[in-house]
Structure 1
Amino acid sequence: MTSFREFCRICKIIEETAGSLDMTGLVSELFSLVTSEELPIVTHFVMGEVFPAWTDKEVGLGTGILINALSRSSGLSIKEIEDIVRETGDIGKTTVKALGKVSKGQVTFSSFLDSPAELSIMEVFERFRDIAHATGKGSQTSKIKHLQYLFNSASVEEVSYIARLAIEDMRIGVGEGIVRDAIAKAFNVPVASVERGYMLTNDMGLVAVTAKEGGNEALLNLGLQVGRPIKLMLAQVTPDIETAIRELGVVAAEWKFDGARVQIHKKGDTVTLYSRRLENITGSLPDIVSAVKTAVKADSAILDGEAVAIDEDGRPKPFQEILKRFRRKYDVQNKVRHIPLTLNLFDIMYLNGDSLIELPLQKRREFLVSSIGDSDLVHVDNQLITSDISQINCMYEQALQAGHEGIMIKNPGSPYSPGKRGKNWLKKKPVMETLDLVVIGAEWGYGRRTSFLGSFALACHDPETGRFLSVGKVATGISDEQLAELTELFREHIISESGTSVEIRPHILFEVAFEEIQKSTNYGSGYALRFPRLVRVRDDKSLEEADTLERLEDMYRTQRK
């Protein structure tokens, strides 16, 4: 059984390593070191997560609970802990410093004794699993006690990473790309097979242990499974319809609905719905669950669609109204009455035991149409196969007149590529250019906005390292009512505060419009947005869907031309 201290030793070296190739080698060494039972856990740990993204399990620890547990373990007051957080700007360093201040006479604390009992990787995971299972009355006290146990059982090398895992922010620069390559290196399997396995399972831990125990053959046998959501295929922006036709030729054009993405899993009479972030939202949408049971004729299927909230005139309601349905846990039936939804299906990835993702779009479309019966709430969206620009322009105008965002322009021969953003799916919207960026910080407001978070710091994503690189701040386009809602939304994700500045754990995306991209040495990305404006909060999207540094660079080059 591998000690947690050994895991932390390697993480410390990784954290101090700059080159991605060297980091890959270190992660590969770690994967080779641990047992098959520990491997999936370690795979998720190095990526800053405790459980696979597709599961319902989550640690559910905010910074407040963590600070409370740290206060009890160290004997310091919560205010003293918060002062250390402001000083260090890092919850891991804060934990080391706080526990290092413990009085030698404090008998309840054992962390920095000469020879503390070694924690194992499995024991740390099991404690986090117990924390995740703690619900209902008394759950917060239970979570704090489990954290106290970990802090009081850990060495100085370990407490920093325990704290970071608690809020799922490891800060060692290991992203999906490095983990993918490390699995291939550790177990001598092709990178392409690891990538394929991850696309089909959305679980890098499962892919790692499959590669170790069964090699390439076992990886190639991994497939879709009803009840295990996969990442959604993504689209990129096209500047105009003419460019799309020039690149693709004959296309499949569809409306781009002003709704929220939904992945539907059906097996017999069991229907499970997942949001764009792959969160289980089944309990929030009983009307859609009932409609899917009636409309989907297949015994088992995985489908892709868009849920749209409709007003009395048959026009789409604002996007934020839809999210009220998705977030609802109580008084659901009341929301069903006040915010009715329809489901527009546009793809099918799995049908009656067979994966369809490698089939061309047109063939998948045939399976989709034949699998859906008549329903008032579930529809297969209209699709136009053509290379005629005038016909596509007509569809575009019809979509806009109906109150939707624009159109999708797809390659009819393309496979379904989970988690991939490419030119097989293009979107055309009549708005100024936007980016989906991660909120990493904020500033407390002034005057009448003193109690609100006001200006928000934004970052793009570097998929290889998993890091978020700053691109500027946005404060425009936000009403007082929105500021109040955003302050509540981000409160549990605050990591540290210094004066009016707040560091926020990356978790929420903003869709931001802007006038142009400029080069800038003031931000980590090397770029800044000119006149950024908040369009909407995209808390339906996952961090991996944030726009990348590569996209910023491409957009900068395009605008220069």
Structure 2
Amino acid sequence: MSSALLAPLVAASDRLGATSSRNEKVAIIAEALRGAGEDVRLAATYLAGDPPQDRLEVGWATIRDLDVAPATTPTLSLVDVDAALEALATAGGTGSRGVRVGVLTDLYAAATVAEQSFLNHLVLGEMRQGALAGLVVKGIAAAAQVPETVVRRAVMLAADLGEVASLAMTGGRAALEAVGLVLGRGVQPMLAATSPSVAAAVEDMGTAVVEWKLDGARIQVHKDGSDVVVYTRNLNDVTARSPDTVAVAQALEVERVILDGEVLAVGADDRPVAFQDTMSTFSNIAGGGSGLTPFFFDVLHVDGEDLLDAPLTERRARLAELVDERNRIPSAVVSDPEEGEGVLADALEHGHEGVVVKALDAPYAAGRRGKAWRKVKPVRTLDLVVLAVEWGSGRRRGWLSNIHLGAVDDRPGHEGFVMLGKTFKGMTDEVLAWQTERFLSLETHRDGHVVHVRPEQVVEIALDGIQTSRRYPGGIALRFARVVRYRDDKDPDQADALSTVRALGSGG
């Protein structure tokens, strides 16, 4: 069977951009997936803007400088594109830039005008957004005529949208339901929504677990005998730089286990060091990542038994049997909101950033940011995405300074990110120098003094509140926003959604 052409997928992408109807978008995606045949894996990932190759190392300047006449007839296939992207991703060492330019030149020479435009967005990562991936999940369900919940669970467990699309189209519901936890394969982590207070969360849940929120890096640990694999929240393999975590896991009296937790640098006084110091150690491959202590709060599998669907009460009990208290995150089961506030006070006194309130009867909903887990911090913070940056003036002349902030746009019929405001506060000279280099590497185009960038960099913002505003398309604006830190450990689709930001404004 011949490979599917790129042209129908490009036409589908154009149609997606021309409609605001979610139902119509799903129908367009379903039609495109059905037409992709054996190449449905690639079609699904391209429509989601997230090709299988993680890093292509191609910037806007390289694309801009290509001088390639477009093809007049569409002959480019999905397999051709995949081969080119693989060549871009694997090029390295001396002369790698020339190799990438050659690969791109050949690829673009075979593409029509419309296909070149599509490739620009795909190669530069401009289509990558969680809302679009969610629509592709719906499209897979419609194309294969299987329940969306079945598709979504398979994606959670396989962590591979393309693989799930292929399974759905070739094996239907049975193939999807056969997808399960696999030791050594990362699982999308369960995420927490935001609550304005511990009291509000406990009152809503009734009896709940209130757990310290450590200011570290999320990890997922898979142990199979003496073999241990450590993943980040983005499912990157960081085993080589996690020797202390590997040692703790190997010492556990269990043969096979999957654990969820955080890794943190702790000082001599047993207090956490600054987050940037933890991340610096975590990212230091040469240094081996030594000096980071793992703290676990959940268990997903024990010796052949999957625990995803077990209530939190059972998972907590199993965790306590397996992991020593010194490597478990402190928590308490409370039914009185004042008791919960006491746990928060204790966490803050020990130098941590807040707590997470968890429903006792909740299963582990991988990849979901629902009401079963709610994080509470005394200082309101949001994880947002940088959409553009303005050149500074005065003392900041020559640096990119004022950043434009966006939330995931989860309004019906919308997708991507919606701008909520700007800030230049909280930036040291070191941060200004770093972000100037970082955002120039993400530049897509300029509008006067504004540098527009690919929406890839997540930043944690502290704020005093939310107010209504006609100035920004989301209808709200941030009050006294300031930069806390840049979050290289988070992907853009893990940023806070517009509905979450609005809930903060209403006290919900």
Query: TM-score band (shorter)?
Result: over 0.9
- Write the distance in 1 (CA, Å) between the matches of 2:348 and 2:62: 51
Q: Give 1:42 shift.
A: 0.8
Show the counterpart of 1:403: 351
For the structure 1 residues 370 and 136, does the alpha-carbon distance in structure 2 shift closer, same or farther, using more than 3 Å as the test? farther
Q: Which runs of 5+ in 1 are unaligned?
A: 52-56, 75-98, 103-110
d(CA) in 1 for partners of 2:126, 2:197 = 39
In structure 2, the residue corresponding to 1:246 is in which secondary structure? helix
Distance in structure 1 (CA, Å) of the matches to 2:503 and 2:329: 32
Task: Report the counterpart of residue 545 of structure 1 in structure 2.
Answer: 494
State the SS of the aligned residue for 1:175: helix
Deviations 1:136-195 (A, max 9, x none): 333332222211110122122211111211112238997133212211111111112112
The 5-angstrom pairing of residues 245-284 of structure 1 reads: 245-284=202-241
CA contact (8 A) 1:256 1:406 kept: yes
Structure 2 CA distance, aligned partners of 1:422 and 1:308?
Answer: 25
CA contact (8 A) 1:517 1:529 kept: yes
Q: Following TM superposition, by how much is the alpha carbon of 1:70 offset from its aligned partner in structure 2, in angstroms?
A: 5.0
Contact 2:56 2:85 in 1 (8 A): no
Q: Partner of 1:327 in structure 2?
A: 283
SS in structure 1 at match of 2:327: strand
Give the counterpart letter for 2:48 in structure 1.
M
Per-residue deviation, 1:468: 0.6
Partner of 2:385: 438
Counterpart position of 1:48: 49
Query: Does structure 1 conserve the Cα–Cα contact (< 8 Å) formed by 2:282 and 2:292?
Result: no
How many angstroms apart in 2 are the aligned matches of 1:508 and 1:278?
17
Counterpart of 1:515 (choices 464, 474, 497) is 464
Distance, in Å, in 2 between the alignment partners of 1:297 and 1:171 is 41
Structure-2 residue corresponding to 1:415: 363
* AA matched with 2:366: P
Find the counterpart in structure 1 of residue 317 from structure 2: 366
Identity of aligned residues (%): 33
TM alignment of 1:121-520, pairs within 5 A = 121-170=78-127, 175-294=132-251, 296-329=252-285, 331-333=286-288, 336=290, 340-372=291-323, 379-431=327-379, 433-463=380-410, 465-520=414-469
Q: 1:555 aligns with which of 485, 504, 508?
A: 504
Q: Which moved more, 1:266-275 or 1:178-187?
A: 266-275
Contact kept, 8 Å, 2:199 with 2:340, in 1: the verdict is no
Contact 1:515/1:531 (8 A) holds in 2? yes
Partner amino acid, structure 1, of 2:351: G
- TM-score by structure 2 length? 0.93
Superposed displacement of residue 390, structure 1: 4.6
The SS at the match of 2:188 is: coil
* Secondary structure of the structure 2 residue equivalent to 1:298: coil
Is the CA contact 1:233–1:420 (under 8 Å) kept in the aligned structure 2?
Answer: yes
**Deviation for aligned residue 1:372:** 2.9
Q: Which residue of 2 aligns with 1:88?
A: none
Take 1:494 and 1:58, find their aligned partners in 2: how far apart are those partners?
A: 19
* SS of residue paired to 1:332: coil
Gaps of 5+ in 2: none
- Is contact 1:232–1:418 with CA below 8 Å preserved after alignment? yes
In the alignment, what sits opposite 2:480? 531
Separation of aligned partners in 2, 1:382 and 1:173:
32
Question: What is the distance in 2 between the residues matched to 1:247 and 1:406?
Answer: 18
Could you tell me how far apart the structure 2 residues matched to 1:469 and 1:181 are?
A: 22
User: TM-score, length-normalised on structure 1?
Assistant: 0.85
Asked whether the 8 Å contact 2:130–2:493 carries over to 1, the reply is no
**Amino acid in structure 1 at the alignment position of 2:287:** V
- Note closer, same or farther for the CA distance 1:69–1:510 as it changes in structure 2 (3 Å cut): closer
Specify the SS of the correspondent of 2:196. coil
Structure 1: which amino acid aligns with 2:94? Answer: K
How far off its partner does 1:389 sit?
A: 4.1
Q: Given that residues 457 and 487 in structure 2 are in contact (C-alpha distance below 8 angstroms), is that contact kept between their aligned partners in structure 1?
A: yes
- Shift in Å at residue 69 of structure 1? 5.5
Which of structure 1's runs of 4+ aligned residues deviate more than 4 A?
Answer: 171-174
- After superposition, give the CA deviation of every residue in 1:281-305 in whole Å (9 maximum; x if it has no partner): 22222332233222x3333222111
* Aligned alpha-carbon RMSD (Å): 2.3
Tell me by how many angstroms 1:2 deviates.
Answer: 1.3
Task: Give 1:62's match in structure 2, choosing from 58, 65, 80.
Answer: 58
Query: Could you tell me how far apart the structure 2 residues matched to 1:421 and 1:70 are?
Result: 38
**Mapped partners of 2:349, 2:63: distance in 1:** 55
Cα offset, 1:553, TM superposition: 2.8
